[in-house]
């Protein structure tokens, strides 16, 4: 341990011990019987993480995949039922071509490296968003993952790609209208029927939404599904998000009183 400019500088070993202690502390505080069923994450800040280190932006995305890998493992170990990751929005196409191309290369790399581990851990891969708008290679990489994990019964790992929530809602409305005109829907359309027409049909709504990098927006993500979710924002950039941050978010979530519009929870 060293003092420099009024702050304590820790070496790698000391930092690891502190982190281990913090993790143990959080695990003691968390009620494992009240873990959120569904966690959704807006993974933000990859670019800033890289730029602040004098690195090209793609390094932030590359490191972001490492965080995806760790977060999947951590959520699976905590028995989360659904983890939804916002990997590429319908608005992200407006980024420079090289960045879009780089982002589109990530699913293939991720599944090449991790598919076996996902299969072994009983994780089910799922894709939400307009898959037809994705390049063939990306569709194949993710859909091969979906197919290979179809029989699994554990955590659902939802990749939101070419996803926009307003478009999802309009798609549901159009499909409902088409089904109603073919007399496939009886009676009035209620919330359950509507939810069944979304990409997330059959999944519980997110209990907890996490957004990294200090931005406090929903950014066209799961607008219907987030109606009663608890929101947790952190200044940490996605590449730096780790198990301690995840546990802190869950711990905070467990302190909230979820009333769903009622007086008592």
CB 62 to ligand FPP: min, Å = 9
CB 193 to ligand FPP: min, Å = 31
Asked whether 149 and 124 are in contact (CB, 8 A), the reply is yes
CA atoms of 252 and 175, how far apart (whole Å)? 38
The partner residues of 83 in beta bridges, in order of sequence, read 39, 157
Asked whether 113 and 68 are in contact (CB, 8 A), the reply is no
* Catalytic entry in 92, 121, 175, 242: 92
CA atoms of 139 and 108, how far apart (whole Å)? 9
CB 90 to ligand FPP: min, Å = 12
> For ligand FPP, which is the closer residue by CB, 68 or 80?
68
Which of 93, 88, 79, 85 has its CA nearest to residue 122? 79
> For this structure, is 44 an active site residue?
yes
Angle between helices 57-77 and 243-255 (to 10 degrees): 60
> For ligand FPP, which is the closer residue by CB, 35 or 142?
142
> For ligand FPP, which is the closer residue by CB, 9 or 116?
116
CB 64 to ligand FPP: min, Å = 3
Parallel, antiparallel, or unpaired for β 2-4 and 7-9?
A: antiparallel
* Catalytic entry in 11, 21, 24, 44: 44
CA atoms of 231 and 246, how far apart (whole Å)? 13
CA atoms of 42 and 96, how far apart (whole Å)? 20
CB 91 to ligand FPP: min, Å = 9
Give the residues lining the site for ligand FPP (CB under 6 A).
Answer: 43-48, 61, 64-65, 68, 87, 92, 103, 106-107, 110, 159, 213, 238
Asked whether 139 and 162 are in contact (CB, 8 A), the reply is no
> For ligand FPP, which is the closer residue by CB, 197 or 237?
237
CA atoms of 227 and 206, how far apart (whole Å)? 9
The partner residues of 125 in beta bridges, in order of sequence, read 157
Return the biggest CA–CA distance within the chain. Answer: 74
> For ligand FPP, which is the closer residue by CB, 85 or 203?
85
> For this structure, is 92 an active site residue?
yes
> For ligand FPP, which is the closer residue by CB, 30 or 119?
119
CB 71 to ligand FPP: min, Å = 10
Residues designated catalytic: 44, 92
């Amino acid at each position: 341990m060293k003092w420099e400019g009024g702050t304590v500088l820790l070496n790698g070993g000391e930092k690891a011990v502190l982190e281990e202690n913090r993790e143990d502390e959080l695990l003691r505080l968390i009620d494992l019987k009240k873990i959120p069923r569904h966690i959704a994450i807006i993974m933000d800040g990859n670019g800033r993480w890289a730029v602040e280190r004098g690195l090209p932006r793609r390094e932030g995305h590359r490191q972001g995949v490492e965080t995806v890998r760790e977060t999947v493992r951590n959520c699976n170990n905590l028995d989360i039922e659904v983890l939804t990751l916002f990997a590429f929005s319908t608005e992200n196409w407006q980024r420079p071509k090289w960045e879009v191309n780089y982002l589109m290369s990530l699913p293939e790399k991720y599944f090449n490296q991790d598919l076996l581990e996902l299969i072994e851990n009983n994780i089910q891969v799922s894709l939400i968003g307009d898959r037809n708008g994705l390049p063939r290679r990306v569709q194949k990489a993710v859909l091969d993952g979906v197919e290979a994990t179809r029989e699994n019964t554990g955590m659902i790992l939802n990749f939101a790609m070419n996803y926009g929530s307003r478009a999802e809602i309009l798609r549901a409305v159009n499909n409902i209208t088409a089904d109603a005109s073919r007399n496939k829907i009886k009676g009035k359309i209620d919330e359950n029927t509507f939810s069944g027409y979304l990409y997330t049909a059959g999944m519980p709504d997110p209990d907890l939404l996490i957004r990294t990098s200090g931005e406090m927006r929903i950014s066209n993500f799961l607008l219907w599904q987030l109606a009663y979710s608890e929101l947790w924002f952190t200044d940490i950039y996605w590449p730096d998000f780790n198990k301690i941050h995840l546990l802190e978010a869950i711990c905070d979530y467990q302190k909230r009183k979820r009333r769903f519009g009622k007086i008592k929870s």
